[in-house]
Structure 1
């Protein structure tokens, strides 16, 4: 009798692991497909509490889905409704980045068919022999090296942001560290919301790297927005007023605060949708806001 329920216990454990893994995959896909949209909203100064935030996010997400589907259909030479779902998911993060840049640069409706044709024209020029990343799947980089590369990239991104404008920081290097620490702290704080205690170390490491990557870009967008606002303020001040402003204000603290709020909102939305996806018997993937 002591072993009568062994099969049921193992089945429950397998189901729990399946759901946990499905949750992590769904959340990663949500971040890949939506982090760029959150960064674009930050760049425009649109808060997560603004109605425009969700209207713009939904429009960008829908456009990216349409463009990705058309790109795959054109590459596979099939009708859009028969385009490979797996291929669409694979290219969608890059298409989101493309659509976001168009939105930021032109703020005009995107012709999905026209943009898909432009992307396909470039894709057909690519040489498959060079379609390999030395740090991608199958590479021989150790886990520690992979993590180090992620943090080096994040540090480089912070340096690139502070070089043009550093808010008159006495120590520009300290400013870069402050921004990077905010990114890393936010990633470490949000990691427990994305993985369970029993999560394999390798998977937890991958999730942390993903968070650092997406949060670095989000920080860049928030920093760029505050830089633009500061330049506008400074133009209306004389030097004495500017000096007084910097002596009494800490714009970097405002940047970090805005970044943390947006990062938390991104993960909260992702975890909610991923949890819903993990419970779904069809494994439906989470979509943009």
Structure 2
């Protein structure tokens, strides 16, 4: 076991082996499964209730319009952590592909379109995290979400997932709900889908409020997009769609080995995509 060699025989192409997770494999951690980052408990806590198992039809119509219904429709699945761990150990950042015994494979835009119905053409939506005072963020939430979260529920520019989900649970959309409440509620659901499922925060319990800026005018939305932004050297957009020459999952499995086998996947990773593909396999 000590003499085993993990990784490429020729490092000229796969030159990041020293930082690759497989280089940290030892006999003691060979069977250790890693966990993925997820903040989707908020959205599913809203609808995992006997009296409210699905969004109101008025809300669903907006989710369909925004091209987010496919993500909601897949629901929350129990991932096979051992299988995902095996995929992590075979993912190469240099080529953005999984190196398997049968050859190289990767996740493509066609997979995104077929599984979730997300648009793969159009202008990408990008944004930058901005600094505001807590009171200003509270006012912002009141304007666009219809409620003012407690100051303790806002950390920096991030809103507590629990605070938003509890508000949505206690204030559902009904047949006689006003148009204003419908829009606030729908925007909150879309916010949980985008920030909780597609772009989970590293904390696992909060969502960056910069995503909410792109949901201000629901009637003007016809699908959201996401891409890697070289300008900011990080993923700062919403949904995986228009990527140009960039790969769909640029740093999905790029955590350094120094974090061992207890770390999570990279910031902004659309981890549910990999989970769903694994379940479909």
Higher strand share: 2
TM range (shorter): under 0.3
TM-score (norm 1): 0.27
Which of the pair has more CA radius of gyration? Answer: 1
